[in-house]
Protein backbone atom coordinates (compact mmCIF):
# COMPACT_ATOMS: atom_id res chain seq x y z
CA UNK A 1 0.00 0.00 0.00
CA UNK A 2 1.32 3.41 -1.01
CA UNK A 3 0.19 6.75 0.41
CA UNK A 4 0.85 9.81 -1.75
CA UNK A 5 -0.17 12.85 0.26
CA UNK A 6 0.74 16.33 -0.90
CA UNK A 7 2.65 17.61 2.11
CA UNK A 8 3.22 21.35 2.24
CA UNK A 9 6.37 22.09 4.18
CA UNK A 10 5.57 25.82 4.25
CA UNK A 11 2.14 25.34 5.79
CA UNK A 12 1.52 26.35 9.41
CA UNK A 13 0.04 22.87 10.00
CA UNK A 14 2.78 20.41 11.14
CA UNK A 15 3.74 17.69 8.67
CA UNK A 16 2.61 14.91 11.00
CA UNK A 17 -0.85 16.48 11.24
CA UNK A 18 -1.10 16.82 7.45
CA UNK A 19 -0.19 13.15 7.10
CA UNK A 20 -2.66 12.15 9.81
CA UNK A 21 -5.48 14.10 8.12
CA UNK A 22 -4.67 12.52 4.75
CA UNK A 23 -4.66 8.91 6.04
CA UNK A 24 -7.81 9.52 8.08
CA UNK A 25 -9.63 10.78 4.99
CA UNK A 26 -8.46 7.75 3.01
CA UNK A 27 -9.82 5.43 5.71
CA UNK A 28 -13.16 7.22 6.18
CA UNK A 29 -13.80 7.35 2.41
CA UNK A 30 -13.05 3.57 2.21
CA UNK A 31 -10.22 4.04 -0.25
CA UNK A 32 -8.30 2.13 2.40
CA UNK A 33 -10.37 -0.86 3.50
CA UNK A 34 -10.93 -2.54 6.87
CA UNK A 35 -8.04 -4.83 7.88
CA UNK A 36 -5.66 -3.21 5.39
CA UNK A 37 -2.19 -2.91 6.88
CA UNK A 38 -0.50 0.47 7.02
CA UNK A 39 3.05 0.80 5.66
CA UNK A 40 5.80 0.50 8.23
CA UNK A 41 7.09 3.69 9.77
CA UNK A 42 10.49 3.32 8.11
CA UNK A 43 9.19 2.56 4.62
CA UNK A 44 6.62 5.41 4.62
CA UNK A 45 9.20 7.86 6.02
CA UNK A 46 11.69 6.94 3.29
CA UNK A 47 9.01 7.12 0.59
CA UNK A 48 7.77 10.57 1.65
CA UNK A 49 11.25 11.85 2.52
CA UNK A 50 10.21 12.82 6.04
CA UNK A 51 11.52 11.85 9.46
CA UNK A 52 10.38 8.63 11.10
CA UNK A 53 9.18 10.73 14.02
CA UNK A 54 6.73 12.53 11.69
CA UNK A 55 5.20 9.24 10.55
CA UNK A 56 5.18 7.82 14.07
CA UNK A 57 3.28 10.88 15.44
CA UNK A 58 0.68 10.62 12.66
CA UNK A 59 0.21 6.90 13.36
CA UNK A 60 -0.07 7.50 17.10
CA UNK A 61 -2.88 10.01 16.51
CA UNK A 62 -4.76 7.54 14.28
CA UNK A 63 -4.27 4.86 16.92
CA UNK A 64 -5.50 7.13 19.73
CA UNK A 65 -8.68 8.03 17.81
CA UNK A 66 -9.44 4.39 16.91
CA UNK A 67 -8.96 4.52 13.14
CA UNK A 68 -6.31 1.83 13.35
CA UNK A 69 -5.33 -0.88 15.80
CA UNK A 70 -1.99 -2.40 16.68
CA UNK A 71 -1.50 -6.14 16.27
CA UNK A 72 1.48 -7.61 18.16
CA UNK A 73 4.54 -8.33 16.00
CA UNK A 74 2.54 -7.49 12.89
CA UNK A 75 1.82 -3.73 12.57
CA UNK A 76 -1.09 -1.30 12.32
CA UNK A 77 -4.38 -2.27 10.66
CA UNK A 78 -7.50 -0.31 9.75
CA UNK A 79 -10.27 -1.02 12.27
CA UNK A 80 -13.79 -2.23 11.51
CA UNK A 81 -15.70 1.00 12.22
CA UNK A 82 -18.83 2.42 10.60
CA UNK A 83 -17.05 5.31 8.98
CA UNK A 84 -20.04 5.99 6.74
CA UNK A 85 -21.66 7.65 9.76
CA UNK A 86 -18.95 10.29 9.82
CA UNK A 87 -19.62 13.39 7.71
CA UNK A 88 -16.24 14.40 6.33
CA UNK A 89 -17.68 17.28 4.32
CA UNK A 90 -19.81 18.71 7.13
CA UNK A 91 -19.56 22.48 7.47
CA UNK A 92 -20.41 24.48 10.58
CA UNK A 93 -23.90 25.91 10.64
CA UNK A 94 -23.94 29.67 10.50
CA UNK A 95 -26.98 31.27 12.11
CA UNK A 96 -27.47 34.94 11.55
CA UNK A 97 -29.41 36.75 14.23
CA UNK A 98 -32.18 38.87 12.64
CA UNK A 99 -30.34 42.02 13.78
CA UNK A 100 -26.75 40.77 13.34
CA UNK A 101 -26.23 42.62 10.09
CA UNK A 102 -28.00 45.82 11.11
CA UNK A 103 -25.51 48.65 10.84
CA UNK A 104 -25.34 50.87 13.90
CA UNK A 105 -25.97 54.52 13.25
CA UNK A 106 -23.57 57.27 14.30
CA UNK A 107 -26.11 58.65 16.78
CA UNK A 108 -27.29 55.62 18.75
CA UNK A 109 -29.91 56.31 21.44
CA UNK A 110 -29.87 52.74 22.65
CA UNK A 111 -30.88 52.12 26.23
CA UNK A 112 -28.41 50.18 28.39
CA UNK A 113 -25.24 51.59 26.89
CA UNK A 114 -23.08 53.58 29.31
CA UNK A 115 -20.28 56.09 28.83
CA UNK A 116 -17.01 54.15 28.75
CA UNK A 117 -15.11 57.41 29.31
CA UNK A 118 -16.46 57.54 32.85
CA UNK A 119 -15.06 54.17 33.89
CA UNK A 120 -12.38 54.59 36.64
CA UNK A 121 -9.71 52.65 34.77
CA UNK A 122 -6.75 53.69 36.92
CA UNK A 123 -8.55 52.79 40.15
CA UNK A 124 -9.66 49.46 38.67
CA UNK A 125 -6.10 48.55 37.60
CA UNK A 126 -4.72 49.57 41.00
CA UNK A 127 -7.21 47.47 42.97
CA UNK A 128 -6.99 44.61 40.46
CA UNK A 129 -3.22 44.35 41.01
CA UNK A 130 -3.76 44.66 44.76
CA UNK A 131 -6.19 41.72 44.61
CA UNK A 132 -3.63 39.63 42.74
CA UNK A 133 -1.03 40.30 45.41
CA UNK A 134 -3.19 40.19 48.54
CA UNK A 135 -5.54 37.34 47.71
CA UNK A 136 -3.26 35.18 45.59
CA UNK A 137 -4.01 31.95 47.45
CA UNK A 138 -7.77 32.55 47.37
CA UNK A 139 -7.69 32.85 43.58
CA UNK A 140 -6.73 29.18 43.31
CA UNK A 141 -9.60 27.85 45.39
CA UNK A 142 -13.37 27.68 44.92
CA UNK A 143 -15.20 30.57 46.52
CA UNK A 144 -18.38 30.69 48.58
CA UNK A 145 -21.50 30.00 46.55
CA UNK A 146 -23.05 33.31 47.65
CA UNK A 147 -20.01 35.26 46.50
CA UNK A 148 -17.05 36.94 48.15
CA UNK A 149 -17.89 37.88 51.73
CA UNK A 150 -15.95 41.15 51.53
CA UNK A 151 -17.96 42.33 48.50
CA UNK A 152 -21.27 41.30 50.06
CA UNK A 153 -20.40 43.26 53.17
CA UNK A 154 -19.65 46.38 51.10
CA UNK A 155 -22.86 45.99 49.10
CA UNK A 156 -24.92 45.70 52.30
CA UNK A 157 -23.39 48.92 53.63
CA UNK A 158 -23.88 50.75 50.33
CA UNK A 159 -27.51 49.66 49.95
CA UNK A 160 -28.40 50.84 53.44
CA UNK A 161 -26.77 54.22 52.96
CA UNK A 162 -28.08 54.89 49.45
CA UNK A 163 -31.40 53.04 49.19
CA UNK A 164 -32.37 52.34 52.79
CA UNK A 165 -32.20 48.58 52.20
CA UNK A 166 -31.93 46.78 55.53
CA UNK A 167 -29.97 43.56 55.16
CA UNK A 168 -26.84 41.74 56.25
CA UNK A 169 -24.11 40.30 54.06
CA UNK A 170 -25.58 36.85 54.74
CA UNK A 171 -28.74 37.75 52.78
CA UNK A 172 -26.88 38.78 49.64
CA UNK A 173 -26.20 36.43 46.73
CA UNK A 174 -23.88 37.61 43.98
CA UNK A 175 -24.98 36.77 40.43
CA UNK A 176 -23.57 37.05 36.91
CA UNK A 177 -26.07 39.63 35.70
CA UNK A 178 -29.73 40.28 36.43
CA UNK A 179 -31.06 37.43 34.31
CA UNK A 180 -28.80 34.87 36.00
CA UNK A 181 -29.94 36.14 39.40
CA UNK A 182 -33.59 35.97 38.35
CA UNK A 183 -33.08 32.47 36.96
CA UNK A 184 -31.86 31.27 40.36
CA UNK A 185 -34.76 33.06 42.03
CA UNK A 186 -37.27 31.46 39.65
CA UNK A 187 -36.00 28.01 40.63
CA UNK A 188 -36.49 28.87 44.29
CA UNK A 189 -40.02 30.26 43.86
CA UNK A 190 -41.48 27.65 41.55
CA UNK A 191 -41.60 25.05 44.28
CA UNK A 192 -44.65 26.83 45.71
CA UNK A 193 -45.63 29.50 43.14
CA UNK A 194 -46.63 28.98 39.51
CA UNK A 195 -48.18 32.34 38.58
CA UNK A 196 -46.23 35.60 38.55
CA UNK A 197 -47.58 39.06 37.75
CA UNK A 198 -45.68 41.61 35.66
CA UNK A 199 -46.14 45.27 34.95
CA UNK A 200 -47.41 45.62 31.41
CA UNK A 201 -45.29 46.70 29.60
CA UNK A 202 -42.18 45.43 31.38
CA UNK A 203 -38.52 44.52 31.01
CA UNK A 204 -38.66 41.59 28.58
CA UNK A 205 -35.43 40.08 29.89
CA UNK A 206 -37.15 39.37 33.21
CA UNK A 207 -40.44 38.05 31.82
CA UNK A 208 -38.47 35.80 29.45
CA UNK A 209 -36.59 34.17 32.34
CA UNK A 210 -39.73 33.30 34.28
CA UNK A 211 -41.50 32.07 31.16
CA UNK A 212 -38.56 29.77 30.41
CA UNK A 213 -38.91 28.34 33.92
CA UNK A 214 -42.55 27.44 33.28
CA UNK A 215 -44.30 30.25 35.13
CA UNK A 216 -47.64 31.56 33.96
CA UNK A 217 -47.22 35.30 33.35
CA UNK A 218 -50.06 37.57 34.49
CA UNK A 219 -49.88 41.03 32.85
CA UNK A 220 -51.12 43.90 35.02
CA UNK A 221 -51.72 47.37 33.60
CA UNK A 222 -50.10 50.60 34.77
CA UNK A 223 -51.46 53.98 35.75
CA UNK A 224 -49.64 57.17 36.70
CA UNK A 225 -48.67 55.67 40.09
CA UNK A 226 -47.40 52.39 38.71
CA UNK A 227 -48.90 48.92 38.82
CA UNK A 228 -52.70 48.63 39.17
CA UNK A 229 -53.28 47.11 42.63
CA UNK A 230 -56.86 45.93 42.01
CA UNK A 231 -55.82 44.10 38.83
CA UNK A 232 -52.97 42.56 40.80
CA UNK A 233 -55.44 41.15 43.34
CA UNK A 234 -57.66 39.91 40.50
CA UNK A 235 -54.74 38.09 38.85
CA UNK A 236 -54.56 35.67 41.84
CA UNK A 237 -50.76 35.64 41.45
CA UNK A 238 -48.61 35.26 44.56
CA UNK A 239 -45.52 36.93 43.13
CA UNK A 240 -45.00 40.14 41.20
CA UNK A 241 -42.04 41.71 39.41
CA UNK A 242 -41.88 45.51 39.59
CA UNK A 243 -39.47 48.38 38.87
CA UNK A 244 -40.79 51.00 41.31
CA UNK A 245 -37.88 53.44 41.29
CA UNK A 246 -38.06 53.95 37.52
CA UNK A 247 -40.65 51.79 35.79
CA UNK A 248 -39.24 50.14 32.70
CA UNK A 249 -39.90 51.24 30.04
CA UNK A 250 -42.44 53.98 30.90
CA UNK A 251 -40.32 55.66 33.56
CA UNK A 252 -42.87 56.62 36.23
CA UNK A 253 -41.74 56.55 39.86
CA UNK A 254 -44.00 54.66 42.24
CA UNK A 255 -45.05 56.93 45.14
CA UNK A 256 -44.86 55.76 48.74
CA UNK A 257 -48.67 55.39 48.92
CA UNK A 258 -48.66 52.82 46.10
CA UNK A 259 -45.67 51.04 47.59
CA UNK A 260 -47.56 50.60 50.86
CA UNK A 261 -50.55 49.24 48.93
CA UNK A 262 -48.25 46.80 47.16
CA UNK A 263 -46.78 45.59 50.45
CA UNK A 264 -50.30 45.08 51.80
CA UNK A 265 -51.09 42.93 48.75
CA UNK A 266 -48.03 40.78 49.45
CA UNK A 267 -49.09 40.30 53.07
CA UNK A 268 -52.69 39.50 52.08
CA UNK A 269 -51.59 36.98 49.45
CA UNK A 270 -48.69 35.53 51.44
CA UNK A 271 -46.70 36.38 48.35
CA UNK A 272 -43.45 38.00 47.23
CA UNK A 273 -42.51 41.25 45.50
CA UNK A 274 -39.43 41.21 43.27
CA UNK A 275 -38.08 44.75 43.35
CA UNK A 276 -35.68 45.38 40.46
CA UNK A 277 -33.78 48.57 41.26
CA UNK A 278 -31.89 48.50 37.97
CA UNK A 279 -30.88 52.19 37.82
CA UNK A 280 -31.94 53.58 41.19
CA UNK A 281 -28.69 55.54 41.51
CA UNK A 282 -29.86 58.12 38.98
CA UNK A 283 -32.62 60.48 40.05
CA UNK A 284 -32.86 64.04 38.74
CA UNK A 285 -35.90 65.56 40.46
CA UNK A 286 -36.77 65.67 44.14
CA UNK A 287 -35.45 63.56 46.99
CA UNK A 288 -34.86 59.82 46.59
CA UNK A 289 -37.83 57.64 47.51
CA UNK A 290 -36.88 54.74 49.80
CA UNK A 291 -36.82 51.28 48.29
CA UNK A 292 -39.74 48.92 48.77
CA UNK A 293 -37.47 46.64 50.74
CA UNK A 294 -36.79 49.40 53.26
CA UNK A 295 -40.54 49.63 53.99
CA UNK A 296 -41.01 45.88 54.30
CA UNK A 297 -41.44 44.52 57.83
CA UNK A 298 -42.77 41.06 56.92
CA UNK A 299 -40.01 39.68 54.68
CA UNK A 300 -42.04 39.94 51.47
CA UNK A 301 -39.62 41.86 49.23
CA UNK A 302 -36.82 40.30 47.20
CA UNK A 303 -34.50 43.10 46.20
CA UNK A 304 -32.28 42.83 43.11
CA UNK A 305 -29.72 45.25 41.71
CA UNK A 306 -26.83 45.42 39.30
CA UNK A 307 -23.60 47.31 38.63
CA UNK A 308 -24.23 47.34 34.88
CA UNK A 309 -25.61 50.89 34.66
CA UNK A 310 -23.46 52.54 37.32
CA UNK A 311 -20.19 50.79 36.50
CA UNK A 312 -19.76 48.48 33.50
CA UNK A 313 -22.26 46.08 31.82
CA UNK A 314 -19.61 43.52 30.82
CA UNK A 315 -18.48 43.14 34.43
CA UNK A 316 -21.62 41.00 34.91
CA UNK A 317 -22.09 41.53 38.64
CA UNK A 318 -25.60 41.63 40.07
CA UNK A 319 -27.03 40.70 43.45
CA UNK A 320 -30.12 39.40 45.19
CA UNK A 321 -31.15 40.37 48.72
CA UNK A 322 -33.25 37.49 50.01
CA UNK A 323 -35.70 37.66 52.92
CA UNK A 324 -34.96 35.19 55.69
CA UNK A 325 -37.60 32.66 54.59
CA UNK A 326 -36.05 32.34 51.13
CA UNK A 327 -32.52 32.39 52.49
CA UNK A 328 -33.29 29.17 54.33
CA UNK A 329 -34.64 27.70 51.07
CA UNK A 330 -31.46 28.74 49.27
CA UNK A 331 -29.14 27.06 51.77
CA UNK A 332 -31.18 23.86 51.79
CA UNK A 333 -31.54 23.43 48.04
CA UNK A 334 -29.16 25.68 46.08
CA UNK A 335 -25.98 26.23 48.10
CA UNK A 336 -24.14 23.64 45.96
CA UNK A 337 -24.41 25.94 42.93
CA UNK A 338 -20.93 27.24 42.13
CA UNK A 339 -20.43 31.01 42.14
CA UNK A 340 -20.48 32.29 38.53
CA UNK A 341 -18.68 35.64 38.93
CA UNK A 342 -14.84 35.48 38.89
CA UNK A 343 -13.29 35.85 42.32
CA UNK A 344 -10.79 38.42 41.06
CA UNK A 345 -13.54 40.72 39.78
CA UNK A 346 -15.47 40.48 43.03
CA UNK A 347 -12.41 41.21 45.14
CA UNK A 348 -11.42 44.16 42.96
CA UNK A 349 -14.88 45.72 43.14
CA UNK A 350 -14.98 45.11 46.89
CA UNK A 351 -11.69 46.98 47.35
CA UNK A 352 -12.94 49.89 45.21
CA UNK A 353 -16.03 50.17 47.41
CA UNK A 354 -14.10 49.76 50.66
CA UNK A 355 -11.56 52.48 49.84
CA UNK A 356 -14.11 55.14 48.93
CA UNK A 357 -13.45 55.08 45.19
CA UNK A 358 -16.93 53.76 44.47
CA UNK A 359 -18.63 56.75 46.12
CA UNK A 360 -16.35 59.11 44.23
CA UNK A 361 -17.15 57.33 40.97
CA UNK A 362 -20.89 57.50 41.60
CA UNK A 363 -20.76 61.24 42.23
CA UNK A 364 -18.89 61.69 38.99
CA UNK A 365 -21.24 59.63 36.84
CA UNK A 366 -24.34 61.17 38.42
CA UNK A 367 -23.09 64.62 37.51
CA UNK A 368 -22.21 63.53 33.97
CA UNK A 369 -25.53 61.81 33.32
CA UNK A 370 -27.52 64.67 34.82
CA UNK A 371 -25.83 67.05 32.38
CA UNK A 372 -26.62 64.69 29.48
CA UNK A 373 -30.19 64.35 30.71
CA UNK A 374 -30.60 68.11 30.78
CA UNK A 375 -29.03 68.44 27.34
CA UNK A 376 -31.45 65.89 25.91
CA UNK A 377 -34.53 67.56 27.38
CA UNK A 378 -33.38 71.01 26.21
CA UNK A 379 -32.67 69.72 22.70
CA UNK A 380 -36.10 68.08 22.51
CA UNK A 381 -37.76 71.25 23.76
CA UNK A 382 -35.92 73.36 21.20
CA UNK A 383 -36.20 71.04 18.22
CA UNK A 384 -39.47 69.16 18.59
CA UNK A 385 -41.31 71.08 21.30
CA UNK A 386 -45.10 70.79 20.75
CA UNK A 387 -44.70 67.90 18.32
CA UNK A 388 -43.83 65.42 21.08
CA UNK A 389 -44.82 64.43 24.60
CA UNK A 390 -41.97 63.48 26.95
CA UNK A 391 -42.42 61.06 29.87
CA UNK A 392 -40.26 59.17 32.35
CA UNK A 393 -37.79 62.04 32.62
CA UNK A 394 -37.40 62.14 36.41
CA UNK A 395 -34.81 59.37 36.74
CA UNK A 396 -32.69 56.79 34.96
CA UNK A 397 -30.74 56.71 31.73
CA UNK A 398 -33.61 56.87 29.25
CA UNK A 399 -36.76 58.83 28.51
CA UNK A 400 -39.80 58.17 26.33
CA UNK A 401 -41.17 60.43 23.63
CA UNK A 402 -44.52 60.18 21.89
CA UNK A 403 -44.40 61.81 18.45
CA UNK A 404 -47.51 63.61 17.24
CA UNK A 405 -47.49 62.64 13.57
CA UNK A 406 -49.04 59.87 11.48
CA UNK A 407 -46.07 57.50 11.60
CA UNK A 408 -46.23 54.15 13.35
CA UNK A 409 -43.37 52.80 15.47
CA UNK A 410 -41.46 51.14 12.65
CA UNK A 411 -41.87 54.16 10.37
CA UNK A 412 -40.44 56.42 13.08
CA UNK A 413 -37.47 54.08 13.51
CA UNK A 414 -36.86 53.83 9.76
CA UNK A 415 -37.13 57.59 9.23
CA UNK A 416 -34.58 58.16 12.01
CA UNK A 417 -32.21 55.61 10.50
CA UNK A 418 -32.21 57.51 7.21
CA UNK A 419 -30.78 60.42 9.20
CA UNK A 420 -28.08 58.14 10.71
CA UNK A 421 -29.89 57.98 14.07
CA UNK A 422 -30.87 54.80 15.93
CA UNK A 423 -33.97 54.97 18.13
CA UNK A 424 -35.97 52.15 19.67
CA UNK A 425 -39.62 51.24 20.08
CA UNK A 426 -41.42 49.84 23.11
CA UNK A 427 -43.78 47.33 21.49
CA UNK A 428 -41.45 44.44 22.37
CA UNK A 429 -42.04 45.04 26.09
CA UNK A 430 -45.79 44.36 26.01
CA UNK A 431 -47.04 41.00 27.30
CA UNK A 432 -50.37 41.56 25.56
CA UNK A 433 -51.31 43.05 22.21
CA UNK A 434 -49.86 46.54 21.84
CA UNK A 435 -52.62 49.15 22.36
CA UNK A 436 -53.66 51.24 19.38
CA UNK A 437 -52.16 54.55 20.39
CA UNK A 438 -49.40 56.90 19.38
CA UNK A 439 -46.19 54.86 19.72
CA UNK A 440 -43.61 55.54 22.40
CA UNK A 441 -39.99 55.84 21.29
CA UNK A 442 -37.28 55.06 23.83
CA UNK A 443 -34.25 57.35 23.88
CA UNK A 444 -31.28 56.18 25.92
CA UNK A 445 -28.56 58.78 26.43
CA UNK A 446 -25.91 57.08 28.57
CA UNK A 447 -23.21 56.52 25.93
CA UNK A 448 -23.62 59.72 23.89
CA UNK A 449 -21.73 62.93 24.39
CA UNK A 450 -23.70 66.14 24.86
CA UNK A 451 -22.81 67.40 21.38
CA UNK A 452 -23.87 64.06 19.90
CA UNK A 453 -27.20 64.29 21.73
CA UNK A 454 -27.86 67.75 20.30
CA UNK A 455 -26.94 66.70 16.77
CA UNK A 456 -29.00 63.52 17.06
CA UNK A 457 -32.13 65.47 18.05
CA UNK A 458 -31.59 67.90 15.15
CA UNK A 459 -31.57 64.92 12.81
CA UNK A 460 -34.71 63.48 14.43
CA UNK A 461 -36.46 66.77 13.72
CA UNK A 462 -35.66 66.34 10.03
CA UNK A 463 -36.80 62.72 10.17
CA UNK A 464 -40.11 63.17 11.95
CA UNK A 465 -41.42 66.64 11.09
Read off the pLDDT of residues 132-146 as tens digits, 9 standing for 90 and up. Answer: 988 877 778 877 899
Same domain, 151 and 184: yes
CA atoms of 464 and 358, how far apart (whole Å): 41
pTM of the model: 0.81
Same domain, 245 and 312: yes
Split into its structural domains, the chain has a count of 3
pLDDT digits (tens, 9 = 90+) for 40-67: 999 999 999 999 999 999 999 999 988 9
CA atoms of 365 and 371, how far apart (whole Å): 10
Same domain, 263 and 126: yes
Residue 309 falls inside a structural domain: yes
Same domain, 225 and 172: yes
pLDDT digits (tens, 9 = 90+) for 336-373: 888 999 999 999 999 999 999 999 999 999 999 999 99
Residue 96 falls inside a structural domain: no
Q: Tell me which of 22-26, 226-230, 426-430 is least confident.
A: 22-26
Same domain, 80 and 206: no
% of the chain exceeding 70 in pLDDT: 95
Q: What is the pLDDT of residue 245?
A: 92
Same domain, 174 and 268: yes
Rounded to a whole number of angstroms, the CA Rg of the chain reads 30
pLDDT digits (tens, 9 = 90+) for 420-447: 999 999 999 999 999 888 899 999 999 9
CA atoms of 129 and 124, how far apart (whole Å): 9
Q: How many CA atoms lie within 13 A of 431 on its CB side?
A: 22
Question: Higher-confidence residue: 8 or 227?
Answer: 227
Residue 1 falls inside a structural domain: no
Structural domain harbouring 370: 107-114+360-464
Residue 2 falls inside a structural domain: no
Same domain, 409 and 296: no
Q: Which residues contact 262 (CB under 8 A, 6 or more apart)?
A: 227, 229, 232, 240, 242, 244, 254, 273, 292
Same domain, 353 and 386: no
pLDDT digits (tens, 9 = 90+) for 144-191: 899 999 999 999 999 999 899 999 999 999 999 999 999 999 999 998
Contact 48, 56 (CB under 8 A): no
Same domain, 129 and 60: no
Same domain, 288 and 225: yes
CA atoms of 106 and 452, how far apart (whole Å): 9
Mean pLDDT of 318-322: 96
Q: Tell me which of 385-394, 406-415, 443-452 is least confident.
A: 385-394
Mean pLDDT of 228-232: 97
Whether the per-residue pLDDT at 100 is higher than 60: the answer is no
Amino acid sequence: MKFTPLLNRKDDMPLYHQLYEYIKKEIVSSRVEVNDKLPSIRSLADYLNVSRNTVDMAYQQLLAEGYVESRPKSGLYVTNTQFDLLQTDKKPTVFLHPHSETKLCTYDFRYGKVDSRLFPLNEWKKRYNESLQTYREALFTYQESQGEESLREEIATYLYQSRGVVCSKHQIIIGAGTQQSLSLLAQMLKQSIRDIAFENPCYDGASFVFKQHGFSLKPVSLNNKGINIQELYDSLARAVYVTPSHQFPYGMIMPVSRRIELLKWANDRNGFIIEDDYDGEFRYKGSPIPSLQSLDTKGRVIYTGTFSKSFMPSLRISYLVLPEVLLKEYHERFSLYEQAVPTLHQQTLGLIMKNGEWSKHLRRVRTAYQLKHGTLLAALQKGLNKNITVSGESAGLHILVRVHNDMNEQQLINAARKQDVSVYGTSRYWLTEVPKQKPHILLGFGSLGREEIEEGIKRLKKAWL
